[in-house]
Amino acid sequence: MISKEIQKQIIEELKTDINDFDVNSALDLLCSVLDCDIDVKELLGIKDRYTHALEVIFDPDSSHERVIESIAMLFKVEAVFKLLLYIIDIEKYQKMTKENIGFSGIITLLGLNPNNINLNQKQSNYTGKGKYIEQISIVYRLRNTEAHTCESWSRKELYTNVDAVLISLLYCVDKYKKIINERMRLINKRQIDVSSYMNSLISYFKDKMKKYIMLNGEENLKIVDRFITENISDENDNENNGRSGTIDSLREKEIPEKRMIIWGEAGTGKSTTLEYLAFTDAKKRLNDYNYKIPVLISLGLLVSPNISLKKYIVEKLDLDDLIVNELLENGELNVFLDGLNEIPNDTINQLKTMRIREIRELLDNYPKCFYIISNRPDEYVDFKGIPVFNLVKLSNEQIELFLSKNADKPNTINIINNAISNNSRLKEIVRTPLMFSRLIDIVDATGKVPSSEGAIIGAFLDTLLRREKTDKMDSNFDVRKAKYVLRSIAYNGLEDYATNSGIPEETVLSYMQKCMQTYGFNVDSFYMLDMLVQLGIIVRRDNLYLFTHQAYQDYYYAMEEMAILGI
């Protein structure tokens, strides 16, 4: 920190040149900025270099040679303006870094040259052109000045230029004093309290597990730590080179890349796996402040092109973007990006292109974090240097384990064991966790075993709807109308978005209205939508709706398509 005595001398030097803001408070704030620790490579060392330079320049006992050297250092002010830009607006800082914007552009980004005046003119040209623009133009021309150039200057020339640098910095600090004060409080206190988000993850998944299997209550996650095997490149013929194991064990020990893609067909457990990892990581973080912070992003819900993927992370954690940037820089986040295949399509794939670019930027700019991306094999995207792992379907032993842990009724276990023993096709179907869990519920409810994937999904969904009508005796709920509504939402949603992505509420209501006009009935749209959410067929997140599983949407889409085709 610059000593109080040196600060007094700086104020004395500038007091006649500044009369429209408080120099004392601006200097205090500038000193705080120079003294803060920002863990960004190009901003490291500014604190020591600049503080030392000011101490030498305003120390009356400093030799002339040391003063000249320190003044030359002071003129290399571009780094300090970068530091200010980082604190004031991190997105503009990142734009500057990405586009390699020079000093003139930095001044423009900070709003210090609002009229975009050429800063490389004679000083006399700046009179009346804008607040402190004359001083800023001096700073612009001084930034590459070396010590030997200063040796021939008179004391007045030296300190005129020193004053220009200080006035420009203090003007910038005063201009943004409110936001700088807020950011400095956060930086100095390092307020990284993510307990609210951690608790919300835990609470959300407890509720969601109950919705997954309405008939049995809470879904058992004991075997969700799925086994995966690496998808080896065709260039490598040695099958033994592939890594395999549970995702948790692999990410702890065998993934030095700190990133992986999980591939699997619909219903194989990709989303549930990422949710489980986020759920368990959240519990660990609450008990251990040093444990990495999990961030779960459902890519199908990021429907606004005006909000970046990084901004969504900031909003999830509810932290200042400066702090989130440091967390990313330091590798303190586990980032789970669920459903690359669920990014909504638009007419020119603009949103998907943007999201893929943003994912690549996260991977490139913040390599210390651990990333897991889920995707379906038919949605191939090449992320260079990321190993791809296939979710392995349940083995015979896992089928037995799954059944024992998820079926409570002995009769259900016996019926299913007999069925899969005598039907090899059914046994292959239940190797997919979604199909198996739904089959258990159907047998629990009806004692019958459907023989195809479509029949299992259809019977399960039908059971949910009829249970609401009969078991709960809800006289307002009409099963037939609910099916028509679900068919319409599934069909129109898939036609419009090409995937099971988040659909805005007003759009869903328009689908429902279209359905009622087509099939000639009326329902209370909000009541029906709320019931479908309560049943767990549709999920609502932030005024967006989507089917809980892609398989549900596919099933109802097929039903509506057959009706349209008259099949």
For 413-478, what is the HEC assignment?
HHHHHHHHHHCHHHHHHCCCHHHHHHHHHHHHHHCCCCCCHHHHHHHHHHHHHHHHHHCCCCCCCC
DSSP classification of residue 220: P
CATH of 195-391, one of 3.30.70.120, 3.40.50.300, 3.30.470.10, 3.10.20.30: 3.40.50.300
Query: Residue 231's CB: how many other CB atoms inside 10 A?
Result: 13
What tokens were used for 447? Answer: 């004692």
**Segments in the chain below pLDDT 50:** 209-224, 236-240
Residue 499's H or E segment, with its range, is none
DSSP track, 262-275: EE--TTSSHHHHHH
What tokens were used for 247? Answer: 């995702």
**Which residue, chain included where needed, has tokens 């307002």?**
476
Closest to 137 (Cα-Cα) out of 112, 100, 110, 157 = 112
> What ranges do the domains of the chain cover?
4-189, 195-391, 396-565
If DSSP codes are grouped into helix, strand and coil, which group holds residue 494?
A: helix
Contact, 247 vs 225, CB < 8 A?
A: yes
What tokens were used for 76? Answer: 């290399």
CA distance 150 to 145: 8
Contact, 480 vs 448, CB < 8 A?
A: no
CA distance 321 to 203: 25
* Amino acid letter, residue 485: V
What tokens were used for 478? Answer: 């009409």
